[in-house]
């Protein structure tokens, strides 16, 4: 049995959370590939490291002094390193980041450093190999994820690697510039899925701060039940309509490989969570799996005599909207 385990920002926000994550990983031999996000919020009014990095880079780009925010980011990592009693220095990395910010390396490079640095900390904490995602995850010249190139590079790399930490959220451009490119926000979920596919694992565990997918939005419905099993198709439908536990693109790399995804709660690891599968072999408990919705739609009514028999009418209407 081989697993990829991805941990979200709230699961890695401080040393205490890191320890929970360490316990989870060490409790099963099969948890061989680890994909971390950047440190998230430690309390509700806190700021995610990714957001600090964007803000810091905006200042650098505007030619303003960005040392205050960079120091704040650095202290977030050292708080974790000290709390875990690790003998790890990130001085060299921060010197490089500062120089790259001054050289206008781009805001995607800036944002990616949260995962990059957290990956370094995680690898040191677990004693796992660190694989820089820039070397194995690729984007084409239009900025789209290049699955073919990535599959070749990553599968080969993982073949030689028993246990590794591969940071989430970013990769690099294929065009020789090696420019860093990120997925959209929350994209470490997608990295987890890509690593699962290329590591040929049996299960992709996605660890977060909730015990799985809920039947409805808890801000609207009090105490909704958890969905125990859901198909990729149903999940895609729910994510597309606004349910937001998992990045909506994260099912594609694993689906064709038949690798299930299990959503698990770092703060309650015993909870069964939600298992996402191609098809279920048991009869579902309910006719409806879940409910999600989006606001801000408009409805347009079109009336015209005989439009049902006019060939091309639907196309013309859609062209106007297009
Ligand atoms: N750190 C990135 C974000 O905040 C990516 C991720 O967490 O998946 O969006």
Query: What pLDDT digit, counting tens, does each position of 116-153 carry?
Result: 999 999 999 999 999 999 999 999 999 999 999 999 99
Cα–ligand 1 centroid distance for 169 (angstroms): 6
Cα–ligand 1 centroid distance for 136 (angstroms): 19
pLDDT digits (tens, 9 = 90+) for 206-236: 999 999 999 998 889 999 999 999 999 898 8
Q: Which residues line ligand 1 (CB under 6 A)?
A: 9, 37-38, 48, 50, 114, 168-169, 185-188
Task: Output the average pLDDT for the chain.
Answer: 94
With 80 as the cut, is the pLDDT of residue 242 above it? Answer: no
CA distance 98 to 103: 9
pLDDT digits (tens, 9 = 90+) for 62-100: 999 999 999 999 999 999 999 999 999 999 999 999 999
| Cβ–Cβ < 8 Å for 269, 24 | yes
Give the residue, by CA position, lying nearest to ligand 1 atom 5: 186
Give the number of C-alpha atoms closer than 13 A to the C-alpha of residue 236, restricted to the C-beta side.
Answer: 10
pLDDT digits (tens, 9 = 90+) for 283-301: 777 889 999 988 888 899 9
CA distance 243 to 216: 8
pLDDT digits (tens, 9 = 90+) for 11-29: 999 999 999 999 999 999 9
């Amino acid at each position: 049995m081989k697993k990829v385990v991805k941990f979200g920002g709230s699961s890695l926000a401080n040393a205490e959370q890191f320890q929970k994550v360490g316990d989870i990983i060490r409790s099963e031999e099969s948890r061989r590939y680890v994909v971390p996000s950047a440190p998230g919020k430690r309390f509700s009014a806190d700021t995610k490291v990714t957001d600090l990095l964007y803000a810091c880079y905006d200042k650098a780009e505007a030619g303003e002094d960005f040392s205050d925010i960079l120091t704040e980011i650095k202290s977030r990592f050292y708080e974790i390193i000290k709390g875990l009693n690790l003998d790890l220095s990130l001085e060299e990395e921060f010197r490089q980041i500062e120089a790259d910010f001054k050289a206008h390396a781009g805001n995607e490079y800036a944002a990616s450093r949260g995962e990059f640095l957290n990956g370094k900390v995680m690898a040191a904490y677990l004693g796992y190999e660190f694989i820089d995602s820039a070397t194995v995850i690729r984007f084409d010249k239009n900025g789209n994820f290049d699955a073919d190139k990535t599959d070749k590079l990553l599968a080969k790399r993982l073949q030689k690697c028993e246990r590794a930490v591969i940071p989430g959220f970013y990769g690099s451009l294929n065009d020789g510039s090696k420019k860093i490119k990120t997925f959209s926000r929350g994209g470490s979920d997608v990295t987890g899925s890509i690593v699962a596919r290329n590591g040929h694992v049996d299960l992709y565990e996605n660890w977060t701060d909730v015990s799985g997918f809920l039947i409805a939005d808890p801000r609207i419905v009090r105490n909704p039940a958890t969905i125990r099993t859901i198909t990729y198709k149903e999940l895609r439908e729910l994510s597309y309509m606004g349910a937001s536990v998992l990045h909506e693109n994260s099912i594609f790399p694993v689906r064709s490989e038949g690798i299930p995804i299990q959503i698990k709660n770092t703060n309650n690891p015993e909870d069964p969570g939600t298992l996402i599968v191609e098809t279920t072999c048991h009869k579902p408990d309910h006719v409806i799996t879940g409910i999600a919705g989006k606001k801000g739609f408009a409805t347009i009514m079109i009336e015209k005599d005989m439009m049902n028999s006019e060939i091309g009418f639907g196309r013309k209407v859609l062209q106007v909207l297009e």
